[in-house]
Amino acid sequence: MGARNIHIAEQVPASRKLGLDAALELVADADELIVAKGRKVEQIPLGKTDPKTAAAAMLGPTGNLRAPTLKVGRTLIVGFDEDSYERILG
């Protein structure tokens, strides 16, 4: 992130478990959601998707928020997808 002069407003350690409630808070303040699970990348239109369904897509098998999770403006990126990072972070 430093190479692109990106300021990290908040960094949460992996030891702090964030579940459905945290995911719902993030979804409430976003317009676009990109979820990467392995090689599968899904763009979820938040205006057309039930918030609980969108938030559930952000959780891993343990029920915790998948990492990494980035919020860039009103866009959420959950999981790692190099193409999505390049597009959003430029």
pLDDT at 90: 78
Cα 50 to chain center, whole Å? 16
User: Using an 8 Å Cβ cutoff, are 76 and 70 in contact?
Assistant: yes
Task: Give residue-wise pLDDT tens across range 17-68.
Answer: 899 999 999 999 999 999 999 899 999 999 899 999 999 999 999 999 998 9
Task: Give residue-wise pLDDT tens across range 60-89.
Answer: 999 999 989 999 999 999 999 999 999 988
Q: What is the C-alpha separation between 79 and 76, in angstroms, rounded?
A: 10
